[in-house]
Amino acid sequence: MPFLNHGSYRIRYELDGPADAPAYVLVNGLTQYAELWSAYRDTLTARHFRVATFDLLGQGASDKPALFISQEDQIAALGLLIDKLGGGPIFLSGISFGGLIALRYAIAHDGRLAGLVPMSCFAELSPQLLLLGNAMRTGLILGGTSYLQDLLLPMNLSDAWLEPLLDKLDSVKRQGWLVNDVYALQNLMESFLDFRPLTPLLRAIKAPTMILNGEFDFLTPRALHETLRVQIPNSSLVIIPRGYHAFTLEKSALTADLLARFAEDVLAGRWHGNQSVWIAPEEPGGALAAFPPGYDHLRAIPTPRVAP
């Protein structure tokens, strides 16, 4: 198990795929760990990408600072991993909290990236997200990791995914419960206490950017992704049909295919963001459909778009 050194801390990482191939770096969400990207490793290496995964500080097998974890340290750790990949094209993707870390890296080091894929992501703490985050932190404090998982599972995954697992949820939750420590999760959440909106900085991201948002994402709804689409010049927003916040877990084959296609299109010079809005196919390999012109993609019912 290889480690990077950042100050006195160790960051566990894993590299797969050919060393001279374009690389995908995948950044975990808050309660995740690197093994959850295994389906992505398989798909992306089969499509001739190198794949880098790691545990953020406070997660999995990486060190868990006892009292404070700063987002700057997470970005520095991500930078160390990217530096390790050499000078070839780098595609960076992250989910939720990891998407935010990826955004912050892209703002500071845009020239290093060939492409960026923020997923279930945000650049601002809207009142709803702020209050939900506070409620999750209180839930963690009062009920531990298990209670936080109980909150997140129904919020972030669909009935279709949950229903067959209802009688074995304890075993579904177990690995996440084992690898996550309450104090480390709390430190990760509290790294938002002095969070400042990234919106004014997003225009610094010039890299091709594909923003992925689940159709039914309740935690980080469409409006938060719209901020990214509007502010990042070379972006497009792709809506994952029937996807919730954790669509990367639930629809891993589809999402990995979209990541591969995005990078292949960028490398071939076929990709054009145009701040466009798309609907992903239901299955890997299907065609993306342009969001119907004239309708408002921020609404859940078909409503004619009002000119800004």
Partner 1 sequence: MRELLGPLTSDGCVPPQQQTRVAAFLISAHGALARQYALALPIRLEAAWQTELNAQLYREAEFVSLLQRATSWVPDAGLGYLTALWEMAWLPAAVDGITDRSMALAADLTTLAHAVHAGVRPAALLPLEANAHDAFVAALRRIEFESGRLLQAQIVFLKGPQLAPFRPAISPALERRHADVRRLWDETLEGIGIASPRAG
List residues near partner 1 by CB under 8 A.
Answer: 1, 8, 61, 65-68, 141-142, 144-145, 170-171, 174, 177-178, 181-183, 186, 190
Amino acid letter, residue 253: A
Q: Which is nearer to partner 1, 186 or 276 (CB)?
A: 186
Q: Which is nearer to partner 1, 8 or 294 (CB)?
A: 8
Q: Which is nearer to partner 1, 65 or 99 (CB)?
A: 65
CB 80 within 8 A of CB 74: no
Q: Which is nearer to partner 1, 2 or 18 (CB)?
A: 2
Query: What is the Cα 197 distance to its own chain's centre?
Result: 17
CA angle in degrees (0–180, nearest 5) for 156-294-291? 40
Q: How far is the CB of 279 from partner 1 (least distance, A)?
A: 41
User: How far apart, in whole angstroms, are the C-alpha atoms of residue 242 and residue 31?
Assistant: 22
Q: How far is the CB of 237 from partner 1 (least distance, A)?
A: 38
Residue 24, token pair as written in the block: 């995908």
Q: Which is nearer to partner 1, 186 or 199 (CB)?
A: 186
Q: Dihedral sign for Cα 94, 96, 98, 102, please.
A: positive
**Residue 221 vs residues 226, 232, 240: alpha-carbon distances, Å:** 9, 18, 12
Q: How far is the CB of 9 from partner 1 (least distance, A)?
A: 10
Phi, psi of 261 (to 5 degrees): -65, -40
Q: Which is nearer to partner 1, 171 or 285 (CB)?
A: 171
Q: How far is the CB of 28 from partner 1 (least distance, A)?
A: 18
188: exposed, middle or buried (Cβ count in 10 Å: 0-12, 13-18, 19+): buried
Query: Whole-angstrom distance between the N-terminal and C-terminal Cα of the chain?
Result: 52
Q: How far is the CB of 104 from partner 1 (least distance, A)?
A: 23
Residues 6+ apart with CB under 8 A from 131: none
Q: Which is nearer to partner 1, 56 or 266 (CB)?
A: 56
Q: How far is the CB of 3 from partner 1 (least distance, A)?
A: 12
Q: Which is nearer to partner 1, 159 or 170 (CB)?
A: 170
User: How far apart, in whole angstroms, are the C-alpha atoms of residue 189 and residue 182?
Assistant: 11
Helix ranges (H only) for the chain are: 38-46, 71-83, 97-108, 127-156, 159-162, 169-179, 182-190, 222-231, 247-250, 252-267
Q: How far is the CB of 73 from partner 1 (least distance, A)?
A: 13
Q: How far is the CB of 135 from partner 1 (least distance, A)?
A: 16
